Amino acid sequence: MAQNQSAPSPPVSYSSITQLNQLLSQLEQTSQQTQLDLAKLRVEKWKTDSNNKRQMQTNVESLERNLQSALPEMISQLRMSPENLTATFRVYRNLTALYDVFAAVAESAGAFGTKDEFQALENDLSMLERSRRAFADRMETLAGVKEAELARLRTAVQTGQGGTNSQQPKKVIVDDNESPKKPARKKSSTKSTPPPPQTKPQ
């Protein structure tokens, strides 16, 4: 019967919690400011054709939905599991998707919108990229920590099984055709004394 199938997770360090809280706080501020700036856009007044306006408006609405629902849920899950690599990667992947769409909107604002619209979106895009890089760095750090934990676990397992692995049974090969060997004579433990020298008669 197997016991202790899953080892308890090590406690999260104070420095790791502090770093994550700072990252999430900055990200939430960026998200709030970005939502305000997106709401101020007047895409319908941009100096471009109607198809491009529709596409940009669709992108803006997609960004707003993500920032209002998807991202907050991911942030909440990460707060519950601060060093969960999967939850951290979800946030990073979402930020990458947001950045790609947001960059296209900001570029269009620079080409067809007002200077104020473009400047506001450029600032938001810069903050979004900063958060994305910060989460990439944290993922790299967490991956290193996980690798070190796995290495320690492997060493512990190998050490625990060292006694059985080092004393493996030897294979014995029996040849039925081999003639039986004569038993070797045992050497006497006492040394034999040489005979006394013979003397010739005078």
Distance CA 135, CA 142 (A): 10
The answer to whether position 198 is within a domain reads no
Distance CA 34, CA 32 (A): 5
Confidence of residue 3 (pLDDT cuts 50, 70, 90): very low
The answer to whether position 64 is within a domain reads yes
End-to-end CA distance of the chain: 94
Show the CA angle centred on residue 125, arms to residues 119 and 130, nearest 5°: 130
The answer to whether position 141 is within a domain reads yes
**Tens of pLDDT, residues 46-80:** 999 999 999 999 999 999 999 999 999 999 999 99
Q: What's the whole-number mean pLDDT along residues 80-94? A: 94
Confidence of residue 14 (pLDDT cuts 50, 70, 90): confident
Query: Residue 53: which domain range?
Result: 14-159
The answer to whether position 8 is within a domain reads no
Q: What's the whole-number mean pLDDT along residues 186-194? A: 56
Q: What's the whole-number mean pLDDT along residues 87-99? A: 96
Confidence of residue 7 (pLDDT cuts 50, 70, 90): very low
Please say whether the beta carbons of 24 and 71 come within 8 A. no
**Tens of pLDDT, residues 95-121:** 999 999 999 999 999 999 999 999 999
The answer to whether position 95 is within a domain reads yes
The answer to whether position 51 is within a domain reads yes
Residue 90 has pLDDT above 70, yes or no: yes
Backbone angles phi, psi at 142, to 5 degrees: -65, -40
The answer to whether position 172 is within a domain reads no
Please say whether the beta carbons of 135 and 92 come within 8 A. yes
The answer to whether position 79 is within a domain reads yes
**Tens of pLDDT, residues 134-183:** 999 999 998 887 787 788 888 888 887 644 454 555 555 555 565 555 55
Tell me how many domains the chain contains: 1
pTM above 0.75, yes or no: no
Domain at 42, CATH number = 1.20.120.230
